Structure 1
Amino acid sequence: MANSSPNLTHLNERGHLLTEQANPNSQTLDQLSTLELVQLFNQEDYRVLEAIASAETAIAQAIDLTAQCLRQGGRLFYVGAGTSGRLGVLDAAECPPTFCTPPELVQGIIAGGAAALVRSSEDLEDRQEDGAGAIAHRQVTDLDVVVGITAGGTTPFVHGAIQAARQRGAHTIFIACVPQDQFAIEVDVDIRLLVGPEILAGSTRLKAGTVTKLVLNILSTGVMVQLGKVYGNRMVDVAVTNNKLHDRALRMLQDLTDLSRPEAALLLERSGRQVKLALLMHWTGLDAEAGDRLLAQHQGQLRQALDQHSATLKDSSTH
């Protein structure tokens, strides 16, 4: 289970976690010209990509674990407070329009609930029991994945959620911007993103927030690739819910086939505005109902469905 407090013997000489330390490169921040300030931010943000590079193996493990659970009917939960919580909610909210996933598949849990998205509620992050309660409320099971996000590693709300999730048999992932020897925790995958002290000491909405956003982008996109939501580099499960997305769907069909725009529009309507199904129908000659069945047999994996159809045709032609 999570430690109740960080190991202070591994903090700096003043007992500060890495995310709370003062950055020596920004000691004269209030004396810099505007251009110098921008250049300093740009220089410090290089640490973000370095941190992700150092955590690549753990991030890949998180993707594989999450995809495996979701294939079996599980759900993905992001849990955080403040900036970390908002980033989790944002990533979860982007999944339905991008990948046409049901809203319950990826969920964001933030200390203080929806109100905390627009109004600071720092005091609520100290309530470990609220984190545990959020997990119980959502009836988390051993099929689910719970990702705890906390820049400094110590947020009680997150630790309450992680502990409750583990007690329920769920798989757990931890994302923090402090080294493991500053704050240890028992989870399935431990991702440490060491971007160093912030330009504005303790303001983890800066580098810590940026690196967290990027890693959540990678995590959710990697999972959706494994779930068959992507063909090549196209979001073939995009929800066609407005004019922009309808235009994107048509352009995708035109780019991947030899169809004119009117032909692509007709195909898209015949498929029920499902780009993946439309492509399968075009490349196989199947109608929408048969295409749906074939995709279902392959858990929505378009490439596998196409390979199976080709193999079936080849086999029937040799008999």
Structure 2
Amino acid sequence: MSGLNGGYYTLFSVGFITFESHFVNTENLPCLSDYNWFLNTLPEAALVVGDSGEILIANEMARRVFKSSGDGFHAKHVGELIPVEKRDGHDNKMARFHASPEKETRIANSALEAVRGDGTHFAIVIILRQITLASGSYTLAICQDVSEQRYLVTGLRNELDQERMLARTDPLTSIANIRSFRAELERSIERLSRYGRHFTLISIDLDNFKPINDDYGHAEGDKVLKDVGDALKSGLRSGDFPARIGGDEFAVLLPDTGFDAAKQFMPRLVQTLENKMDQSKWPVTFSLGMVTFNEAPGRVDKALMLADETMYLAKRSGKNRAAMRTFQ
């Protein structure tokens, strides 16, 4: 394409914007003032930066984006546009750009921040290109304010995370629901099948819960269930997985836990549950069934059935006790 005074130059594009990038005919290169005029026709913020980082040109859109007051630009050095705590990362990216043979790269992402003339921070994407003018080579920086996009993306991500959490969580007790528990149990079965990593499953049923619902109403019954959920959250070890299976039935998965370790843990678990009931003065006890799996049960339903059968053995034996077994 024909350039200024009959020279020739190549073009490059950023989105819908096309920029002059490198003049082939060095006898007809534009000067900084010519380039300043060109940059002021662009709809994006643009800076021309010297080798030492000094800002030589800032177009009108750059003044708006960076909120520079008055006729000049509020920053003399490109580093002043980056928050102090982010400057090391920015300098490293700039160094990689200058070391690149193509001298063309997108150096920013949603984590890059810039600072405006009023001191506020905002998210920015910067696209760099080396340009050659009559007085030498410079860096052209096209700056895009993406703070609104980041805000929208963050909001959508938070909503998605909330939906995922709700899909995995029992809304009453704030511990895992049956769907989430089945998925975690399936992973434990898979680890046992492939690597021999045994696990223990505990089924928990509340004794004397029905009279509370009948005599005091379901609102009081819900308080009991919440207390059980709180006790399980506070009384388990890191890595243990409690869940409300349904109604007044709960379960706990103890990954990588053999029979002896689980047997030693059971009194502590029962004591935690009983203490919570005593604090709230609920006349509730617990029947528990504990099964340690040294051999994979094959299916999630079979594992849950074995734990339930063991729990009902404790219930038929007089309630307020635990029954324990292994599955070989």
Scaled to the shorter chain, the TM-score interval is: under 0.3
Question: TM-score, with normalisation over the residues of structure 2?
Answer: 0.22
Larger Rg: 2
> Of the two structures, which has the highest relative contact order with CA contacts closer than 8 Å and spacing of 6 or more?
1
Q: Which has the higher helix share?
A: 1
Question: TM-score, with normalisation over the residues of structure 1?
Answer: 0.22
Q: Which has the higher strand share?
A: 2
